[in-house]
């Protein structure tokens, strides 16, 4: 089929290090559902070239919940949310270290310490630093921190403690940003990713799909992440939480989510693409197909929503004939 040949040409282009044009990227997002399997096969050819059949597992700990002054419309922890969630200050060192042990039990290679708020205070950064030092001394884990908007000085402290990666998602495109958040800017997020990189920490930055953005916006997000040279790209699919401004935003289906993952693989052939929040509720019975494009997932729960049991993810990976990295 002519269209099938297009996907193979896009795979060839990705493997040659060429960037998809907007027209090519949109052709992936607009692909007919009948073309889904050939599309995923082409994406898998790129994924397999750089990552084989290995799957990276990450686990999140919600290190500080709620109490956030920002107005991000998707987030149950924001000041504009009425969602009934737990609210607490930063967890103590012992609890953070215990979470790392649980990450190992779930076969995760990366442990993500995530705290709500605009940005961690000096005291909170110091608390995380102490926990990270102990974890790195005791366990063979990579540590990812996600502590909001941080200065280069605070990033340097995290780097010295042994933090391997810093996550700060762009979430949406520059043009759509004010529809989602007004209490900080798109450039605040871009600068934070750059601060991590300047400190020598691997930058992790991704998106949330399904917040009313256009397909052109998704392409723009992907281009920006290419410009930032993010090493790890979490692709979240909106899980509309009751009590948040986006609670009624339900525009995704599993097939479209797979097309998004394929486009990100073509756009970022050598990078870690991680299926992140909203995986279970949006990909549903097609979750396994997502790993033909992506090479990483979260195991366990997310920040304020539940994920499926880690054993189910382990079984899914085994059933695919893939293996945990």
pLDDT at 301 over 60: yes
Average of per-residue pLDDT across 134-162: 97
| pLDDT tens digits along 90-131 | 999 999 999 999 999 999 999 999 999 999 999 999 999 999
Q: Could you tell me which residues are beta bridge partners of residue 115?
A: 64
Q: What is residue 84's predicted lDDT score, i.e. its pLDDT?
A: 87
Which of 105, 109, 54 lies closest to 320, judged by CA? 54
Q: What is residue 256's predicted lDDT score, i.e. its pLDDT?
A: 98
Phi, psi of 166, rounded to the nearest 5 degrees: -125, 125
Q: Out of 1-5, 61-65, 175-179, 319-323, which region has the weakest mean confidence (pLDDT)?
A: 1-5
Q: What is residue 149's predicted lDDT score, i.e. its pLDDT?
A: 96
> Do you know the residue count of the chain?
325
111 neighbors 135 (Cβ within 8 angstroms): yes
128 neighbors 158 (Cβ within 8 angstroms): yes
Mind giving me the DSSP string for 119-171? B--HHHHHHHHHHHHHHHHH---EEEEE-BS--HHHHHHHHHHT--EEE---B
Mind giving me the DSSP string for 208-247? EE-SS--HHHHHHHHHHHHHHT-SEEEEEE----TTSTTT
Q: Could you tell me which residues are beta bridge partners of residue 298?
A: 58
Average of per-residue pLDDT across 23-40: 97
pLDDT at 269 over 70: yes
pLDDT at 204 over 50: yes
Q: Out of 12-16, 75-79, 90-94, 247-251, which region has the weakest mean confidence (pLDDT)?
A: 75-79
pLDDT at 2 over 70: no
Give the residue numbers marked as catalytic.
68, 72, 75, 112, 144, 204, 274
pLDDT at 4 over 70: no
Q: What is residue 1's predicted lDDT score, i.e. its pLDDT?
A: 47
Q: Which domains does the chain have, with CATH numbers?
A: 55-324 (3.20.20.70)
Mean pLDDT over the full length of the chain: 95
pLDDT at 221 over 90: yes
Q: What percent of the chain has pLDDT over 90?
A: 90
Q: What is residue 53's predicted lDDT score, i.e. its pLDDT?
A: 98
Q: What percent of the chain has pLDDT over 70?
A: 99
pLDDT at 307 over 90: no
Q: What is residue 304's predicted lDDT score, i.e. its pLDDT?
A: 75
Q: Report the 10 Å Cβ neighbour count for 200.
A: 11
Nearest-10 Cα torsion for 150, 156, 162, 167: 30
Q: What is the pTM of this model?
A: 0.95
């Amino acid at each position: 089929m002519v269209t099938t040949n297009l996907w193979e040409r896009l795979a060839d282009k990705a493997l040659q290090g060429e960037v998809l044009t907007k027209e090519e990227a949109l052709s992936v997002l607009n692909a007919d559902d009948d073309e889904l399997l050939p599309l995923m096969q082409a994406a898998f050819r790129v994924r397999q070239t750089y990552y084989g059949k290995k799957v990276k597992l990450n686990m999140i700990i919600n290190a500080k919940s709620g109490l956030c002054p920002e107005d991000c419309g998707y987030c149950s922890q924001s000041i504009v949310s009425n969602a009934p969630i737990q609210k607490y200050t930063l967890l103590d060192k012992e609890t953070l270290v215990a979470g790392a042990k649980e990450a190992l039990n779930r076969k995760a290679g990366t442990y993500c310490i995530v705290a709500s708020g605009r940005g961690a205070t000096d005291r909170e950064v110091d608390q995380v630093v102490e926990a990270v030092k102990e974890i790195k001394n005791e366990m063979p884990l990579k540590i990812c921190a996600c502590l909001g908007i941080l200065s280069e000085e605070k990033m340097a402290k995290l780097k010295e403690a042994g933090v391997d990666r810093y996550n700060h998602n762009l979430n949406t495109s520059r043009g759509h940003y004010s529809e989602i958040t007004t209490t900080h800017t798109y450039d605040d997020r871009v600068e934070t990713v750059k601060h991590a990189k300047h400190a020598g920490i691997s930058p992790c930055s991704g998106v949330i799909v399904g917040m009313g953005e256009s397909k052109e916006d998704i392409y723009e997000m992907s281009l920006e992440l290419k410009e930032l040279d993010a090493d790890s790209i979490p692709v979240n699919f909106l899980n509309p939480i009751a009590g948040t401004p986006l609670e009624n935003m339900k525009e995704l289906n599993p097939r479209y989510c797979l097309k998004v993952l394929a486009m990100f693989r073509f756009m970022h052939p050598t990078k870690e693409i991680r299926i992140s929040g909203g995986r279970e509720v949006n990909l549903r019975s097609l979750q396994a197909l997502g790993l033909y494009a992506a090479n990483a997932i979260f195991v366990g729960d997310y920040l304020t929503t539940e994920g499926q049991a880690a054993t189910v993810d382990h079984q899914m990976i085994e059933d695919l004939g893939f293996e945990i990295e």
